[in-house]
Chain A
Amino acid sequence: MAAQKLTLAKGLNSGLRAAMEADPKVVLMGEDVGKLGGVFRITEGLQKDFGEDRVIDTPLAESGIVGTAIGLCLRGYRPVVEIQFDGFVYPAFDQIISQVAKMHARSLGALRLPMVIRIPYGGGIGAVEHHSESNEAYFAHTAGLRVVTCADPADAYWMMQQAIASDDPVVFYEPKRRYHERAEVDLDETVGAPLGLHQAAVRREGTDVTLVTYGPMVKTCLQAAEAAAAEGISLHVLDLRSLSPLDTGAIAEAAKRTGRIVVVHEASTFLAMGSEVASFIQQECFYHLEAPVLRVGGYNIPYPPSRFEEEFLPNLDRVLDAVDKSLAY
């Protein structure tokens, strides 16, 4: 199959389709995932092709969706559940933290929960409350879960298949404001996924300051790098992709490369992914640092009403301001 130009949404859809074709035990579950194809149409057409037993429209109950998915795993299935929006995952929090994350360990390795929990996340789409949150830190904090996020259509296509193939439970964050971004995706399975599910990716080579980011902020950071280049500043952009585990080797390499690091994400900065990345870098790369690791993120308030979100979310100006601060040391 030749390369195709796909949206990120279509990349996810194609990844789901490929996984369902490859393994009859893969089932999709969630609210509105059937005829509607999900509120973002990520599962569009799949129920028509794979039937109602494999694309399951569930009652409107998130704990029920994840809890029954656990039972399906125990019976040998590989459920992919859709949480409709980031802010709706909290009713399922107990099942994810208390059961999904711990079952393998509790059974001393006898039981596996090869489940993918898909969560469209992040802001910038003018939504009402509970529809724009970045709550990845809650899950990355919990041992037993893998937490990943894609930033472009190729990653959407390949990472979704890798997540479904993983025998560990994976929380898969989808940057909803990037669903409609298009890019070339090589669907050739003889080439396969360019990177492992746990690996970070260098999105742009640079020499002055490293931006460490992921998900929806990858594009913002690449735009910042373009703007900085016009002013003669060379930014290195690292896309984490995996939030648990972190690709610490790639982070150390990117940090040492410039000695100046800015971590960028949408989540509020307190106890967020940026805290972990900054902590790791100061511990492992201290003698390479030219400036303290800086963080740019959402403010430490609940996600605000959408009229405020342009100010709440990191934008080019805030990223470039942090770059200037770093360079001023």
Chain B
Amino acid sequence: MKRRSRYAAVSLTAALILSACSSGPSSSSGPSSSSGPSSSSSLSGQTINLSLSHHAWTTSLQTFIGDFTTETGIKVDVNVYDDAQQATLYNVKLNAGSSDIDVLMFRPLQNTQQFTQNGWFADLTKYVNASTDWNWNDFWQSARDSVTVNNKIIGVPLVSETGVLYYRKDLLAETGMPYPKTMDDLKAVVAKIHELHPDIFAFAGRGEVSAAVTQFSSFLYSMGGNWTDGKGNSTINSDAAKAAYKLYGGLIHDYGPPGETDMNWPQVMGLLQQGLVAFYPEASSNYDSAVDPTQSKVADQIGVGPIPAGPAGSKPYNITAMALGISAFSKHKDAAWAFIKWATNQANSLTIQEAGVPGARTSVWNDPKGTSTLAPDLLATIQGNSKIGVGYDRPQVVNVDQARQIVGAPIVAAIQGGDSNAVADQANSDFQALLDGQAK
């Protein structure tokens, strides 16, 4: 019995591969009755090792990942890590050229340069080219660019993410003010909420030095600043950047919870869920936990809006947050590709997006089902940001970790009410040294 179902599954894969246009069948449909020789039968029985990140995408995928094994006979070994652990493991395992990882989930803006330089990615170009039915061109151009290095494709985009502002609708309504259009409006409305509810943190945000950088980036761009001038010169002590540091860090200093400089998004989100936070800039992809009624007391009061405009307008980041790649040292590259292709095919991308994790496939976004489960205000903000967004949320260097520590220092100084301008000057020279070291 078992053997037969596996045979059927293999046949199904074959059928899927052979079919010219595979936009139709959902992954969770039952075994097909078609039969015939299979080109992927050699993959059946192999086990691939997945290194995935703690992310809503992973959670959603895990609800139906068993289907993949049923369909292909390829077994998967799923490992889920938090960011810090995963970064360490990649460093150690890929450095040692270990074949322990086949499929690796990564953050393009964080890892691409370094991993490429180190030769840790397998080149996926030939796989992508051979999978015409899977339709690479369906992914957004910007998303494809973020995983293409020197014309080589090194990953497949999974999650798109943009900077938004979470807020408490009821508290905003109480102030009688409209949703803040500009940074000055934001300051005013936050001050008003603080006045009405001193026990509520009117503005909270990530404050941990490295974690804060990405959410701060929307403020930096909107204030007219940037990390570099695009020619290898650090610009994080420009007047605009200094104003941005003062603004973001200052709001947290004045209205944020105690212990801010230790907070990453799980901590701030926890406070938001308990109704303790009024305004909170965070990634769109965390929407689900913000409105999770099992975790949150104020789930029905959480709204989402665009980042208010600064002197440069509203310029949130709008990025490809997550991607799947294959380790250069994998011994099961074909099976690994079969998995990536399956996980990112149109049907499964739709399933995951329906579960609330925005992806990067045009067809899914065009499909009414793909947007039906997104809250209207979230959808409007995401669509708005896609037109005005900046394609990176952190400095574009080889060693992003180090850069984040450097450019995040003025945020921390501002949160603590210190002289963020002086720290920005120091950080600027540190960052310049890092850029110069990299250029060598």
- Whether chains A and B associate is no
Chain B positions near chain A (C-beta within 8 angstroms) = none
